[in-house]
Amino acid sequence: MIKKLYKKNKKLFISGFIGLLIILIIVGNIFRDDSEVINVETEKVSRKTIIQKVNASGKIQPESEVKISATSSAIIDSITVVEGEYVKKNQHLISLDRKQLQANVDQVTSAVRSATARVKQDKANKERVERIYEQGLASDQELEVAQATYEISKSQLDQSRASLLVSQDALDKARLVSPQNGIVTKINKEAGEMAMGGMFSLDVLMIIADLSRMEVIVDVNENDVVSISIGDTSEIEIDAYIDTVFYGVVSEIAHMAETSSFGSQEQVTNFKVKIRMLDVPTNIRPGMSATANIITDVRKNALAIPIQSLTVREFGSENKLFGKDNNKWKKDEESDSNPKKKELEELVFIIADKQGGVLRNGEISKVKNLKEKKYKRGSQFVHIRPVEVGISSENHYELLGGLNEDDLIVIGNYKAVSKELKHNMQVNTKDDDKE
């Protein structure tokens, strides 16, 4: 009897279990979604100040830098300053050996005296020949020779006097002085070395720079230089001054590009841009590395979206069906049979509480092959929302159209935004109230 009851109850238990399992399967099928549910991060569209910047790197240089050189060749007799020393305008810097320079002056002075005497002699001879010519005692040829000789003598005297001025000027400049206030940043020669003078070979002996006025010379890519204007404000970071930001103003933009080659094929075209520093730090040195963030545009109180929320998809991508094979999207037969040139559009994914069409150009488009399914209460979906953006900062785009303030959009993760998310896909959100 007991065995019969046990068998009977066992059968009932098994039957009940099977019945419960069937019910669970049916319920599961009702609420089952064939697509993968992706976890995403969200943020509300809000108003921010968008600051567009152009980043470039370069070196710090003085605005005013003077190269000291000799006008004539001579031995350096002495140097009265050292590198790093502050000098004032007209302060004595270098003395050249005056012996050879004085000898040149003496030699040319002697030549002037000789030329002067020769002029007097030739003038007297010319006047004598003119007198006897009037008396008919000299020929035309004799008169012409006397006059020509006199003119040549005067020319030689003028040349000697000019040479004397040059030699005297070189002697006077044997004592080199500073043309401005500044710091001695470089000394290229030592006492006893030859200073080479001349118009065509500049021998720089010393460099004087005004370190109170500095500028940053940066290389800006050709794609960015068109957005830069004279007077733009710039943030300057100097490698030697950690965690310190200085400020400057764009003072000059090169009109001629400079092309640099990297390897055999790759070429980079840059333009030199000068940024005058408004606050020059102490102990700054020419040649220091610096990075400039040039502010090219500012939008205050503008609607903004995070940069990572924006992606690019093919126009009409909402009509691609989600398949079961490795979670890839399949094109519908209609689009396959009528291939068109791919048009791309910028868009974000907006959070919605139900499936639907795409709001594009003020109208909601219908989605092909949309199958109505039952989802759990509170399910969330993503909709494609085409947007128009303007300038960008480091973290945000200026939003020109397509969204409203406080709209909830997907900002991450990157893989989801760029590849995985599709129109009407179910998602799990977190940080829903993130501002």
Domain that holds residue 131: 98-173
pLDDT confidence of residue 39: 92
Q: Are residues 366 and 412 in the same domain?
A: yes
Rounded to whole angstroms, the Cα distance separating 268 from 271 reads: 10
* Residue 3 domain-assigned (yes or no): no
Q: Give the H or E element holding residue 43.
A: strand 38-44
Q: Are residues 336 and 242 in the same domain?
A: no
Q: Is the pLDDT of residue 393 over 70?
A: yes
pLDDT confidence of residue 290: 96
pLDDT confidence of residue 170: 81
On whether the pTM is more than 0.85, the answer is: no
Q: Is the pLDDT of residue 6 over 80?
A: no
Q: Is the pLDDT of residue 99 over 60?
A: yes
Sequence-ordered list of residues with C-beta below 8 angstroms from that of 235, at least 6 positions apart, any chain: 53, 245, 246, 247, 292, 293, 295
With beta carbons less than 8 A apart as the criterion, state whether 180 and 64 touch. Answer: yes
Q: Are residues 288 and 333 in the same domain?
A: no
* Residue 260 domain-assigned (yes or no): yes
Q: What is the band of 282 on the pLDDT scale with cuts at 50, 70, 90?
A: confident
Q: Is the pLDDT of residue 231 over 60?
A: yes
Q: What is the band of 325 on the pLDDT scale with cuts at 50, 70, 90?
A: very low
Q: What is the pLDDT of residues 52-72, one digit of tens each?
A: 999 999 999 999 989 998 888
Q: What is the band of 374 on the pLDDT scale with cuts at 50, 70, 90?
A: confident
* Residue 329 domain-assigned (yes or no): yes
Q: Are residues 214 and 246 in the same domain?
A: yes
User: What total number of domains does the chain contain?
Assistant: 3
Residue 111, domain CATH: 1.10.287
Q: Are residues 215 and 289 in the same domain?
A: yes
Domain boundary among 301, 330, 361: 301
Residue 425, domain CATH: 2.40.420.20
Domain boundary among 145, 173, 201: 173
pLDDT confidence of residue 28: 52
Percent of the chain topping pLDDT 70: 82
Q: What is the band of 103 on the pLDDT scale with cuts at 50, 70, 90?
A: confident
